[in-house]
Amino acid sequence: MSAASAPKIPAPNILVIGTGDTKADELTFMADIIEEAGGQPAMVDVSILGDPPYSPAYSRRDIAAAAGTTIEEVIASGDEHSAMALMSRGAATLVLDLYQAGRVDGVIILGGSMGTDLALDVSAVLPVGVPKFVVSTIAYSHLVPPERIAPDLMMILWAGGLYGLSGICGAVLSQACGAVVGAARHGRKPDSTRPLVGMTSLGSTCLKYMKYLKPELERRGYDVAVFHATGMGGRAFEAIAEKGGFAAVFDFCIQEVSNHHYGSIVTSGPDRLENAGRAGTPQIVAPGAIDMVDLQSWRELPAIFADRPYHAHNRLIGSVTSSPQGRREIARVVAAKLERAAGKTAFLLPIAGLQEWDKPGEPLHDPEGHAAFMDEIRKALPASVEFSEIDTHINTPEFSQKALEIFDAWVARGIVPEGRP
């Protein structure tokens, strides 16, 4: 198709959010770049103490009003923390209202730690598929808790951007603005014509069931999203589950529960394995890789794991096994989370093994620890959970076939909606 015959894409409406009283030069520069890129910028001012030297489409007074208060009350609330919390609530409310009214195609938010705090709240209210770009001085920092990151959030480090424009700052801001306009013009929203099934896994070496299950579920008329459970993947899974975004889930890699329990930075947050159940979504759960704790392979092992079997997966991530007593603790944590589920829950236990590296001869083979988990999970699971054991490894076709048997029975009983081929 020639450029002349290509359909014209309407200019997307992009909200430009920031504190205009301190970052006016940067924000007006961003608005200009968005216009150059073919977008329509609308300035949203989240300043607290002063008005910007331009007229925003939505003022700080509008933001305070959306939070159910006034800017004077925000200023008098106590300190910068309480004030920004109110502005965050107002900004998130206003942005969601604008999106639901069809007036938002994307957002870009600029800030340091305060602005990033607000940006995370704003991004969290928008559904997957709405471009959300954060330009932040703390992008990729461990100051940002994983449970606050939207599933499709885009971030860029605001290099050289603490105060005022510079050549480096302008390069970063222009890239971000071009990215959000391009995403708004050409990004595709998720296909909602078929029921969505969420699945967790760990690469395709450690766990393999998705290679069988995904095509089988698609043949039944379901869309299948497989989440890489290395911290952020599990976070995205939980964020969608929290909003009831799945028709059912195959949560077969719950290793992030173990990671969080042991304080690993490879965490999805404290609510891993809770949101599907809280939302009433039917869930089939298996303890894939629950025997492992993921750590940075480029750091020295913590003393608690110094004598445990260890496997370096690559130069970024390695896995260590937890002790037999530790696995009993994890089994009780898993059982307590499933006990709180409001929806139908099944637990499928493959007693011959939980991940590829626990087989005889592999680096994480640990029969004593494996037996401890098996014993404790049988005792700890509540009666509300449909429990099945299968004498096979989690990576065998027999495991996947049993999971499909449970799923198909739930579809037949109306617990899970039928697929749409």
Question: HSE on the CB side for 195, CA within 13 Å?
Answer: 20
- Report d(CA 234, CA 225) in Å as an integer: 12
Residues of the chain with CATH 3.40.50.12030: 196-412
From the candidate CATH numbers 3.40.50.12030, 3.50.50.60, 1.20.58.760, 2.40.50.100, the one assigned to the domain spanning 196-412: 3.40.50.12030
Return the pLDDT at 1.
45
- Structural contact between residues 171 and 194, judged by C-beta atoms closer than 8 angstroms: no
What pLDDT digit, counting tens, does each position of 374-402 carry? 999 999 999 999 999 999 999 999 999 99
Contacts of 350 (CB under 8 A, 6+ apart): 286, 390, 392, 393, 394, 396, 399
Tens place of pLDDT for every residue, the chain, 421 residues? Answer: 444 554 567 899 999 999 999 999 999 999 999 999 999 999 999 999 899 999 999 999 999 999 999 999 999 998 889 999 999 999 999 999 999 999 999 999 999 999 999 999 999 999 999 999 999 999 988 889 888 999 999 999 998 877 788 899 999 999 999 999 999 999 988 888 999 999 999 988 899 999 999 999 999 999 999 999 999 999 999 999 999 999 999 999 999 999 999 999 899 999 999 999 999 999 999 999 999 999 988 988 888 888 898 988 889 989 999 999 999 999 999 999 999 999 999 999 999 999 999 999 999 999 999 999 999 999 999 999 999 999 999 999 999 999 999 999 999 999 999 999 8
Of 187, 194, 192, nearest to 130 by C-alpha is 187
Q: Residues 13-186: name the CATH superfamily.
A: Uncharacterised protein family UPF0261, NN domain (3.40.50.12020)
- pTM score, whole prediction: 0.87
Token duo for residue 130 = 């709405």
Return the pLDDT at 4.
52
Residues of the chain with CATH 3.40.50.12020: 13-186
Q: Is 373 helix (H, G, I), strand (E, B) or coil?
A: helix
Return the pLDDT at 257.
97
